[in-house]
């Protein structure tokens, strides 16, 4: 059982993403209620009361972020939906963009009204073609229906929206890099303070929320923050869209109420390990979260407190199932190649460190590893932590430390014998089906 649902509440059909279907499901009624019956402050109050945490990876309380915005401060405010879904293993926001684009748009309009935002953006990764087309078509439908533009519903609330396409840069999913990218520049993260809610896009107060976080706003406002809070656990209200992939029988996107038993979700709802194999470990929330072994997840429930207590996190909801027999050295090689590829090069520890780590792991896999290489990887991971503007270098370190802490013997074997103890296996079955 995955628990109650807030987002995946309707059957996906050939037309379920269109405005007519969304209206038939009661869509845009909450926007009307908000504009006609609620003050902006009341909406923020409901979001604060809901206790909703950010669903992009950092789990920052959305209400607290919104609370920094000062109404009537005489300057424009901006809202950006972060649809730069790029954390490997994560493909949950894509579900919303493809199947419920109007849920996002209605929620963004309510948010824009609450925060006095005249111009909103959705920053979507450049590779997402179908999600972009679905969302862009939804935007046009919404403009034609009068939900965007001047004087919405005859009120004095006006809002325009731009779907802004990235062009291939993992780091642009980081909020400050994201706004730098919307400013038409290379995606370099910025130092804080000032916070982006104080000085963000074009130096104006800007709220950036993950697509899934924002998509919950319509529900929160419709049902009330207190009602929302009753779903999930006390510290993790609501649900999480979990995208699950890797060596799993039934990969896909699932909506999981916080507090659901994790092992049961993997073994029962998702059908367990591909081909009936045994579970070795999982990446719980995007590759930047630490792996948890099969034994470690037995008692874990899917929520922030439980996953943090187990030494990992909810992260971006991108779960990767790893079967027994998988070579963790080769697995780490794939991750470090990725981080090296995506380091933007702005900060020295990450720019150099990612290259060092990538070269060391390549050396080990080539059978030329040195006994000191394992500690060298750990040393670089620790040295990077907290020394860069954004968290990308830290994340590479967490992933590395997590894997080596639990599977150090595989690394030692590889270096000593110049080959993988597990045949360098990364797939469960032998190759792609012919």
Residues with Cβ within 8 Å of residue 279, at least 6 apart in sequence: 266, 267, 272, 273, 294, 321, 322, 323, 324
Cβ proximity to another protein: between 20 and 130 the closer is 130
Q: Judged by CB, which is closer to another protein: 127, or 368?
A: 127
- Scan residues 100-119 and list those touching another protein (CB under 8 A): 118-119
| Three-state secondary structure string covering the chain | CCCCCCCCCCCCCCCCCCHHHHHHCCCCHHHHHHHHHCCHHHHHHHHHHHCCECCCCCCCEHHHHHHCCCCCCCCCEEEEEEECCCCCCCCCHHHHHHHCHHHHHHHHHHHHHHCCEEEEEEEECCCCHHHHHHHHHHHHHHHHCCCCECCHHHCCCCEEEEEEECCCCHHHHCHHHHHHHHCCCCCCCCCCCCCCCCCCHHHCCEEEEEHHHHHCHHHHHHHCHHHHHCCECCCCECEEEEEEEECECCCEEEEEECCEEHHHHHHHHCCCEHHHCCEEEEECCCCCCCCEEHHHHCCCEECHHHHHHCCCCCCCCEEEEEECCCCHHHHHHHHHHHHHHHCCCCCHHHHHHHHHHHHHHHHHHCCCCCCCHHHHHHHHHHHHCCCCCCCHHHHHHHHHHHHHHHHHHHHHHHHHHCCCCCCCCCCCCCCCCC
Q: Which one among 63, 86, 237, 317 touches another protein, defined by CB under 8 A?
A: 86
Span of 126-134, 354-362, 381-389, 409-417 interacting with another protein by CB under 8 A: 126-134
| Nearest approach, Cβ of residue 229 and another protein (Å) | 30
Sheet holding 160-165, edge to edge: 160-165, 117-124, 77-83, 206-210
Q: Which residue among 10, 60, 338, 413 contacts another protein (CB under 8 A)?
A: 338
Contact between 29 and another protein per CB under 8 A = no
Of 26 and 367, which has the nearer Cβ to another protein? 367
Task: Pick one of 28, 82, 85, 297: the residue that binds another protein (CB under 8 A).
Answer: 85
Interface segment toward another protein; rule CB under 8 A; list 54-62, 166-174, 360-368, 377-385? 166-174
**Minimum distance of another protein from residue 143's CB (angstroms):** 9
User: Does 400 sit near another protein (CB under 8 A)?
Assistant: no
Q: What part of residues 206-245 is at the interface with another protein (CB under 8 A)?
A: 243-245
Chosen residue from 64, 192, 278, 341 binding another protein by CB under 8 A: 341
Please give the size of the binding site for another protein, defined by CB under 8 A.
Answer: 66
- Minimum distance of another protein from residue 327's CB (angstroms): 11
Q: What residues have CB less than 8 Å from 113, skipping those under 6 apart?
A: 31, 34, 35, 40, 43, 157, 159
- Residue 343 interacts with another protein (CB under 8 A)? no
Query: Whole-number minimum distance, CB 179 to another protein, in Å?
Result: 10
Binding to another protein (CB under 8 A) within 175-204 occurs at 181-187, 202
245: phi > 0 → left, psi -120 to 50 → alpha, else beta; which? beta
164 vs 414, which CB is nearer to another protein?
A: 164
Binding window for another protein (CB under 8 A); candidates: 59-67, 80-88, 191-199, 208-216? 80-88
> Which residue among 91, 157, 411, 414 contacts another protein (CB under 8 A)?
91
Query: Under the criterion CB under 8 A, does residue 353 sit at the interface with another protein?
Result: no
Cα dist from 304 to 239, 262, 300, whole Å: 11, 12, 10
- Kindly state the smallest distance separating residue 375's Cβ from another protein, in Å: 24
Q: Which of 61, 67, 76, 325 binds another protein (CB under 8 A)?
A: 76
With contacts defined by CB under 8 A, name the span among 205-213, 215-223, 348-356, 421-429 that binds another protein: 421-429
- When the beta carbons of 246 and 313 are compared against another protein, the nearer one is 246
Distance CA 402, CA 253 (A): 25
Q: Is 406 in the site for another protein (CB under 8 A)?
A: no
- Residues between 277 and 336 that touch another protein (CB under 8 A): 283, 287, 318, 320, 322, 326, 331, 334-335
Least CB distance to another protein at residue 231 (A): 25
The only residue of 28, 128, 157, 265 in contact with another protein, by rule CB under 8 A: 128
* Interface residue list for another protein (CB under 8 A): 76, 78, 85-91, 94, 118-119, 125-130, 160-162, 164-170, 181-187, 202, 243-247, 251-253, 283, 287, 318, 320, 322, 326, 331, 334-335, 337-338, 341-342, 344, 426-429, 431-434
């Amino acid at each position: 059982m995955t628990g109650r649902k807030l987002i995946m509440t309707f059957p996906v059909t050939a037309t379920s993403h269109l405005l007519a279907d969304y209206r038939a499901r009661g869509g845009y009624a909450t926007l009307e209620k908000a504009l006609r019956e609620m003050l902006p402050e009341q909406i923020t109050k409901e979001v604060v009361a809901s206790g909703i945490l950010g669903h992009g990876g950092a789990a920052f309380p959305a209400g607290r972020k919104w609370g920094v915005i000062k109404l009537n401060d005489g300057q424009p405010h901006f809202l950006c939906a972060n649809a730069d879904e790029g954390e490997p293993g994560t493909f949950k926001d894509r579900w919303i963009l493809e199947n419920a684009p109007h849920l996002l748009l209605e929620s963004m309009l309510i948010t824009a009204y609450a925060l006095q935002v005249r111009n909103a953006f959705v920053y979507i990764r450049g590779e997402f073609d179908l999600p972009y087309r679905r969302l862009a078509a939804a935007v046009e439908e919404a403009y034609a229906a009068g939900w965007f533009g001047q004087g919405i519903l005859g009120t004095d609330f006006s809002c325009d929206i731009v779907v802004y396409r990235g062009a291939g840069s993992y780091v642009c999913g980081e909020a400050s890099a994201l706004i730098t990218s919307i400013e038409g520049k290379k995606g370099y993260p910025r130092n804080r303070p000032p916070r982006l809610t104080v000085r963000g896009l074009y130096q104006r107060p800007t709220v950036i929320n993950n697509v899934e976080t924002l998509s919950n706003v319509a529900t929160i406002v419709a049902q009330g923050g207190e009602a929302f809070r009753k779903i999930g656990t006390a510290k993790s209200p609501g649900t999480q869209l979990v995208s699950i992939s890797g060596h799993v029988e039934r990969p896909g996107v699932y909506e999981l109420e916080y507090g659901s038993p994790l092992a049961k979700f993997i073994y029962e709802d998702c059908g367990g390990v591909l081909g009936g194999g045994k579970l070795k470990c999982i990446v719980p929330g995007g590759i930047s979260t630490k792996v948890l072994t099969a034994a470690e997840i037995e008692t874990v429930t899917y929520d922030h407190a439980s996953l943090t207590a187990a030494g990992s996190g909810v992260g971006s909801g991108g779960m990767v199932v790893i079967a027994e027999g998988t070579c963790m050295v080769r697995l780490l090689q794939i991750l470090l190649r990725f981080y090296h590829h995506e380091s933007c090069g702005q900060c020295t520890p990450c720019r150099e460190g990612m290259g060092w780590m990538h070269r060391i792991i390549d050396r080990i896999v080539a059978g030329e590893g040195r006994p000191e290489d394992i500690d060298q990887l750990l040393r670089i991971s620790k040295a990077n932590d907290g020394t860069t503007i954004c968290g990308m270098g830290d994340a590479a370190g967490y992933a590395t430390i997590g894997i080596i802490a639990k599977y150090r013997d595989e690394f030692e074997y590889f270096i000593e014998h110049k080959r993988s103890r597990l045949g360098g296996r990364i797939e469960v079955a032998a190759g792609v089906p012919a």
